[in-house]
Amino acid sequence: MPQAATVTASATPYAIEVEDLVSYYDSRRILDEVSLRVRPGEIMVVMGGSGSGKSTLLRHLLGLNRPAAGRVSLFGADISQASARELYQLRRRMGVSFQNGALFNSMTVEENVAFPLREHTRLDERTIRIMARMKLEVVNLAGFERLMPAQLSGGMIKRAALARALVMDPSLLFFDEPSAGLDPVVSADLDELILRLRDALRVTILVVTHELDSAFRIADRITVLDQGRILITGTVEEVRNSPSERVQNLLNRRSEEIDVDPEEYLRRLTD
């Protein structure tokens, strides 16, 4: 397939390469010269406080937001230079489970999981059904294929969404807050599953999470975002042992003393 070949043409050792990425919403700078490289088969965990820009970074990796400056490359292809067709080819290789990613309420669990295959492939209907059910087996949802999303628990919805993200056998898997709101046992199961996926498939995984235990369990490396800037990127050990006070505060969930500028504060309350 020549199109796919062009997309992966330039040789690079990285599955994901972000260089000096700058991003705005209106006039607000959300990402400030963010650089990050993820190797094939690596599990990169993105941490950081609420509003630090994690989901925004993910949207850039998916090509949903355009950088104000800097570059995002996947498998060596600069996605802002990619043609619509190339972007489509790249997206076929990505599986994503969004933070607020719901299932389609009007479809059964199986139809939800099979949806990307029906949209993007011309596989035989029987092949599609077997593939969807295999993924439900992988996420331990066997037997629930005919239920509607409203009949599932929160953890089951997360797993069904993961099954859908996996159904095309992606080479890149993006997962925004997989364990948020789940009890620790279910969350540990999900971690286990993420590790098994990486070992069984050729998949590079980027996980956004607030959960420290989870991050330490699954990460090859962790990157910490703080107000749109990267504070540190390193192995679990490196991040754990970081001398940076901000990193430690984040890890220990100490809320930082917010600097108060009295004039500015008064203005905010009254203008």
Partner 1 sequence: MSYQVDEKDGYAVVRLTGEVDLNRSPDARRVILDCLQKKMPLLVDLSGVDYIDSSGVASLVEGYQLSRSRQLDFGLIGVSDAAMNVLRLARLDKVFPIYASLEARLKDTR
Window 88 to 117, contacts with ligand ATP (CB under 6 A): 99
Angle of the 109-120 helix axis to the 154-166 helix axis, nearest 10: 20
Closest separation in Å from C-beta 121 to partner 1: 6
Q: Choose which of 10, 20, 39, 51 interacts with ligand ATP (CB under 6 A).
A: 51
Size of the site for ligand ATP (CB under 6 A): 11
- Of the pair 3, 80, the CB lying nearest partner 1 is at 3
Burial 131-155 (b: 16+ CB within 10 A, else e): bbbebbebbebeebbeeebeebeeb
For tokens 């630090």, what's the residue? 52
Phi, psi for residue 43 in degrees, rounded to 5: -105, 110
One-letter amino acid at 204 equals T
Closest separation in Å from C-beta 201 to partner 1: 7
- Residue 80 CB contacts under 8 Å (≥ 6 apart), including other chains: 63, 66, 67, 71, 72
Q: Choose which of 15, 30, 138, 219 interacts with ligand ATP (CB under 6 A).
A: 30
Q: Choose which of 22, 201, 212, 236 interacts with partner 1 (CB under 8 A).
A: 201
60 binds ligand ATP (CB under 6 A): no
- Using alpha carbons only, give the angle 14, 210, 185 rounded to the nearest 5 degrees: 105
Q: Which of these segments, 39-47, 163-171, 216-224, 261-269, binds partner 1 (CB under 8 A)?
A: 163-171
Residues near Mg ion, by CB under 5 A: 54-55, 99
Among 232, 202, 208, 212, smallest CA distance to 93 is for 202
Q: Which does 8 bind (CB under 5 to 8 A by kind): ligand ATP, Mg ion, partner 1, none?
A: none
- Of the pair 202, 254, the CB lying nearest partner 1 is at 202
Q: Which of these segments, 13-21, 75-83, 162-170, 210-218, binds partner 1 (CB under 8 A)?
A: 162-170
- Residue 20 CB contacts under 8 Å (≥ 6 apart), including other chains: 33, 34, 35, 69, 70, 71
Q: Which residues bind ligand ATP (CB under 6 A)?
A: 25, 30, 48, 50-56, 99
